[in-house]
Chains A and B, each alone.
Chain A
Amino acid sequence: MPFHMKRATSFLAATAVALSLTAHAAHAESKKLFVNLPLSGPWSNFGDGMFNAFKLAVDQGNASGVLGDLKLDVVRGDNAGDTAQGASLATKAGADPDVVGAFCCWTSGIGLATHAIYNRYGLPTILGGSNDHRTTRPYHKSAVIFRNSPYDLINMKMAAYFAAATKGFKRIYAIDDNSAFAVTQVNEFTKAAKKLKGDGIIIGRESIVPGEKDFTSLLTKIKPLNPDLIFFGGRIVEASLVRQQMKKLGFDAPIMSSGGVFSETYIKITGDAAEGSLASFWGLPMAYYPEGRGIRFEKDYAAAKFNQSYESFGPMAYAAGQVFVQAAAAANKKGDVTREAVLKELETGSFSTMLGDFKFDEHGMLDILHIAIYEVKDGKWNILYRTDRAATELKPVK
């Protein structure tokens, strides 16, 4: 086999050279932040926007000099919205000793699947989206999980308050898309609404299957019950289809939803039928963030020329990037930038981000909440109400 052997030797040699080259190229003083998001698949519009915003924050941090000799690299992990892949990536992040922080998930399902894995590896993680309350303390003892958006218990309490008390809807029909996040969302919404106005307010509930396109038979069944609000827990495409098919059936009740639907894309694909749709969301229009920080983010994002808009979750991702940069910078001043050091900074430090200045509380939840109620008017989401910093009451926005 002389020919065979020659091929093998030359191949091995070439690869050895190449491998040593890559080894040299790596920076000794760089640490990694691992992003685990749906960058392909049905929710990639959200994932891409978040990834870009997160990377923008880290790039700005690297350029600003606050990190000193340290450089932070962002590792792109694409979970495609698939829980199994998300878990596999979390393992990948955890097993790489250079990774000092993770930004994760978007979907609640992946949050549920991965929080224990991050915990197992002691990897400090900020959840973006993934609002299921069961992934963080006090509902789960994952000491490494932080979130910079409020979880569903708080969101849905405000949404239900708006629907049942502020607006005074009396016959609400709830639909969920059977995904982890939507089921919890609708559970909490109905629970909160019933607490406010009694059991009769929720007149029915049904689950649909994501990927399904025709809900007319379900809506035909619901229409004679005369609901005055459809609360929809789920995502853009299904919400859009439900809304359009309601209109086609001459079914006039408004539809209300939350994160997962709150997006420009919803209006774009729903067209005129979107008018009057309601949503609660844990974010403000850019102009409402303190000290013009939102506007500055918007400008920076536009200047970076990404090919995808930052979407509704971009601001939280940007803030997460800023938090990691500030935590790593503080850890770097005190000594080594390790997972333990970053974790300690997240627990004790206070951060100045575009969402405002905040600390994480003992449960890993940020202490500034921006929950707002929106309505579609003239092809745009218009803010109607917003909460105070601790989300205890709802105030109209002039």
Chain B
Amino acid sequence: MEIWLQQLVNALTIGGMYTLVAVGFTLFFGVLGLINFAHGEVFMFGAFVALTVSTAVIAAGMENALFIIVLMFVVSMTVSAALGVGMERVAFRPLRGLPPLLLLVTSLSIGIVIREAIKEFYPEGANPLAFFSPYSFDTFDIGNITISYTQAGLILLSILLVAGVYLLVTKTWLGRAMRATSEDVEAARMMGINVNRVIRDAFIIGSALGAAAGVMNGLYYQSIRFDMGWVMGVKGFTAAVIGGLGNVYGAVYGGYILALFEVLVVALVPNGSQYKDVFVFLILIGILVFRPSGLLGTPQTKVG
């Protein structure tokens, strides 16, 4: 029993990060019909920005760990949001309206550029770098389950952020505009929605959340590297598909479902960690073919 609870805690931690990345994928797809494969690199970029912040602040003599962590999140999310907007302006806007495949390949190329730029121009960028993570080994036990304070903090933070996104999408004008744009760009335009603005805001929110996931990743695993974005990109994308691409509600549970599923495969299948991703991709294909609106999605959600 304790093992299962421990596994559940593990799943919640990873699931939070998957979800935050998945929200970006689903937002971009909704407003632009774009599968943005550079998004995983934005996640990585966010982590590197945070590392820079922590290094600089510690060098300046600041010692309050909590303050540093807050600063890392704020700066990283802001800078990455700017990167996301810049990317949309420079690369995706000129291609709007062309077949989606072109955008897909463009986003992949942009991703390569971001990844290689970090590797080359960040000091020691090719090596794994230690990440500032003050509370990782301070653990507490509930029964036989061991949880570190970082882990607890991250689970809480991801739930807060996800709740924030949920409120934003359901309760605000911007959220309604985004959902409307996802449903039908033309209709939204006719209703007086400034689609360009909505797309820009989607990139701000998506990239900032991706960067937050990157910082969380660094805090949790204590080291980061330039090539960490790709795997996360694929996972976040799969989570978005499980929730139904373009459906923001779906992304919220998609990440947690994917994490739980992975943990179950590893726990139950012998040598499961090796074949875990095979199952993940089978599920991905299965959902795309048989339930394109997502695992729990409603049939009227926009498809293809």
Contacts and interface: CB of A to CB of B under 8 A. Distances in A.
Interface of A: 40-42, 44-45, 48, 178, 206-209, 211-218, 220-221, 224, 236-237, 240-241, 244, 247-250, 265, 268-273
Interface in B52-66: none
Contacts of B273: 206-209, 212, 215, 217-218
B6 interface: yes
A248 B7 contact: no
A209 B10 contact: no
A42 to B, nearest CB: 6
> Size class of B's contact patch?
35 or more
Contact of B231 (A178, A206, A213): A213
Given A272-B137, A273-B137, 18 more contacts: A40-B119, A44-B127, A45-B126, A208-B274, A213-B228, A213-B231, A216-B13, A217-B11, A221-B3, A237-B223, A237-B225, A244-B222, A248-B137, A249-B146, A268-B130, A269-B128, A270-B222, A270-B223
7 contacts: A42-B227, A48-B126, A207-B274, A209-B276, A213-B228, A217-B267, A248-B137
A220 B10 contact: yes
A101 B228 CA distance: 36
B262 interface: yes
Contacts of A41: 126, 227
Interface string B212-235: 000001000111010110110000
Given A206-B273, A209-B276, A244-B221, A269 B130 contact: yes
A247 B138 CA distance: 10
A213 B14 CA distance: 10
Please name the 4 residue pairs, one residue from A and one from B, whose CB atoms are nearest each other, closest first.
A269-B223, A207-B274, A217-B266, A217-B263
Contact of A271 (B11, B222, B263): B222
A28 B71 CA distance: 60
B277 A207 contact: no
B30 to A, nearest CB: 28
Interface in B116-136: 119, 126-130, 136
A271 B223 CA distance: 10
Contacts of B227: 41-42, 211
B10 A217 contact: yes
Nearest to A240: B223
A248 B148 CA distance: 6
Contacts of A236: 128
- Of B14, B217, B221, B231, most A-chain CB atoms within 10 Å: B221
Nearest to B230: A211
B130 A216 contact: no
Given A208-B274, A220-B7, A45 B127 contact: yes
Nearest to A266: B128
Nearest to A272: B137
Contacts, number: 95
B151 interface: yes
B34 to A, nearest CB: 25
Nearest to A249: B146
Nearest to A307: B124
A398 B231 CA distance: 45
A261 B151 CA distance: 26
A212 B10 contact: no
A214 B276 CA distance: 12
Contacts of A209: 273-274, 276-277
A42 B225 contact: yes
Nearest to B259: A214
Nearest to B141: A250
Contacts of B266: 217-218, 221
Nearest to A212: B231
Contacts of B6: 220, 249
A214 B128 contact: no
Contacts of A247: 137
- Of A48, A209, A272, A273, most B-chain CB atoms within 10 Å: A209
Nearest to A178: B274
Contacts of B129: 269
B201 to A, nearest CB: 30
B196 interface: no
A216 to B, nearest CB: 4
Given A237-B223, A248-B139, A214 B3 contact: no
A220 B267 contact: yes
B217 A213 contact: yes
Nearest to A213: B221
Contacts of A42: 225, 227
Nearest to B5: A220
Contacts of A237: 128, 223, 225
A48 B120 CA distance: 14
Nearest to B228: A213
Contacts of B11: 217
Interface in B141-167: 141, 146, 148, 151
B300 interface: no
Contacts of B141: 250
B139 A44 contact: no
A216 B127 contact: no
B291 to A, nearest CB: 26
A250 B139 contact: yes
Interface string B5-37: 011001101100000000000000000000000
A27 B225 CA distance: 41
